[in-house]
Amino acid sequence: QVQLQESGPGLVKASETLSVTCTVSGGSFSSYYWSWIRQPPGKGLEWIGYMHNSGTTFYNPSLKSRVTISVDTSKNQFSLKVSSVTAADTAVYYCAKVNGGLQTDYWGQGTLVTVSS
Amino acid sequence: QSALTQPASVSGSPGQSITVSCTGTRSDIGTYNYVSWYQQHPGKAPKLMIYEVSNRPSAVPDRFSGSKSGNTASLTISGLQAEDEADYYCSSYTTSSTLVFGGGTKVTVL
């Protein structure tokens, strides 16, 4: 049973860089896509991007210029960075596993990141 | 990429059947059978309910079913139960090798 756990700062100042890390346990870290999804308070899900453990990355075009996803296979972790944040980046950030059928089958519990001015 | 289009809300009485639609384009739903549906209860992470248009994970009750026609996918809940009240999101793979979600549908059990 794969488990994912996000860890993040909780509060980030506007114009700075948001960083969130996801630790994966209970399964192989290889041969899947590792994804980030966010959900602003009271709103819907927004796909941010994903990375294959081989290093291939794909991003939501609307966020591509500010987002970086990286993976550290030695620690079974992958990370998200969002630069130049504004209040619109305030959201619950979920990490998730995407399998070969391109469904997001395992999700972390989510971590709320609030951007303050 | 634009979000997939879902109705904001759908409601039904216990025991009834409801259908939630999810409309995309030829760049996503119309090209691939990689359509998934997720259930989200308040304060919880989403849960995979349907994958590859119509397949159910083993733990999901068989009253949940999925289908697709052209650029539109659908989730049907038969024999609606109180615990089915939640938000539902569709998702599709796209021709840009990305994923896209729908705006979400609130299902209310009357």
Contact at 8 Å (CB) between B98 and A59? yes
Q: Contacts of residue A94 in chain B, CB cutoff 8 Å?
A: 45-46
The predicted pLDDT at position A30 comes to: 74
Per-residue pLDDT of B2-27, as tens digits, reads: 999 999 999 999 999 999 999 999 99
Sorting pLDDT into bands at 50, 70 and 90, what band is B1? confident
Question: B40 to chain A: which residues are within 8 Å by CB?
Answer: 45
Percent of the residues in chain B that have a pLDDT greater than 70, as a whole number: 100
The 10 Å CB-count burial string (b at 16+, else e) for B66-77 is: bebeebbbbbeb
- Round to whole Å and give the CA distance between B108 and B42: 13
Number of C-beta neighbours around residue B63 at 10 A? 14
Pick the residue of A50, A102, A104 with the most B CBs within 10 A to test the interface with B by mutation: A102
* Average pLDDT score over residue span B63-75: 98
Residues 21-50 of B with CB under 8 A from A: 32, 34, 36, 38, 40, 45-48
Note the pLDDT of residue B55. 96
Distances (CA, A) of B40 to A115, B1, B37, B80, B106: 24, 23, 10, 16, 9
The pLDDT tens digits for A32-64 are 899 999 999 999 999 999 998 778 999 999 999
Q: Which of A102, A105, A108 sits opposite B93 (nearest CB)?
A: A102
